Amino acid sequence: MTQILHLNNVCKTYFLGEEKVSAVRNANIRINKGDFIAIMGPSGSGKSTLMNLVGVLDIPTEGEIFLEQHNIAKLSESDLAQIRGRKIGFIFQQFNLIRTLTAKENVMLPMMFQNIPSEEREKRALMLLEQIGLKDRSNHRPGELSGGQQQRVAIARALANNPDMILADEPTGNLDSKTGHEIILLLKNLNKKGKTIIMVTHDINVAKEAKKIIHIVDGEIK
């Protein structure tokens, strides 16, 4: 089985004034291609910090994080940004769509940073919107879309650069239960097609849809 990400004895420490806060302690996680993992933990448990480490949004204070055999702790921020753009797609609870852009333009945006030609960006964006059932809304701005539709656009945007891994932070948190279930089914379908899904959630019913649940309590993996 192909390993995508490996956290090896990872610790993340913050300083609040003179107080030392160990947000994540001695985390050891292996993520393989095709995994669907849910990360669960109460408020203040360290799951947001762990998500940032898994998503290569932050580097560890101690330990190593290997993304396809590259130790990201030794890379510059510009190199990290390039890796994130190519290897990881992000889905957020708040959708984080740009309000002034259409659905198509929002999906095209990540491809721009990878220097993909305009014609190819538009073609792929429309293909992705068609896959999620929103091609007829391609020229609508976020304010003209429902919450579920906005999250679908966000999923299409996460897939724009065909990343190996999708990181979903509370993807159903701002949705009603029916729409949230539809989003989970969409993620499960992506996983069946080979995408690796890492999902942060506080909802045990959502977490149960994953193949594996990782619990974090007081900064430690349980």
Architecture of domain 35-58+76-217: 3-Layer(aba) Sandwich (3.40)
Between the two ends of the chain, the Cα-to-Cα distance in Å is 24
Token readout for 112 is 């721009």
Q: Which of 186, 192, 200 is nearest to 156 (CA)?
A: 186
Domain map (residue ranges) of the chain = 35-58+76-217
Res 68 pLDDT > 80:
no
Token readout for 219 is 């900064």
Res 1 pLDDT > 80:
no
User: Strand, helix or coil at 19?
Assistant: strand
Cβ(106)–Cβ(157) under 8 Å?
yes
137 conformational bin, left if phi > 0, alpha if psi -120 to 50, beta if neither: alpha
- Residue that is written with structure tokens 């906005």 in the block: 150
Residue 110: Cβ-neighbour burial (10 angstroms; 0-12, 13-18, 19+): buried
Query: Measured between alpha carbons, how far is residue 133 from residues 50, 90, 157, 185 in Å?
Result: 32, 20, 14, 13
pTM of the predicted structure, to 2 decimals: 0.89
**Number of neighbouring beta carbons within 10 Å of residue 213:** 15
pLDDT digits (tens, 9 = 90+) for 193-207: 999 999 999 899 999
Average pLDDT of the residues of the chain? 93
Angle at 80 between CA 78 and CA 81, to 5 degrees: 65
Q: Helices (H), strands (E): how many in the chain?
A: 7, 10
Q: Which helix (H) or strand (E) holds 221?
A: strand 220-221
pLDDT digits (tens, 9 = 90+) for 79-128: 888 888 889 999 998 999 999 999 999 999 999 988 899 999 999 999 99
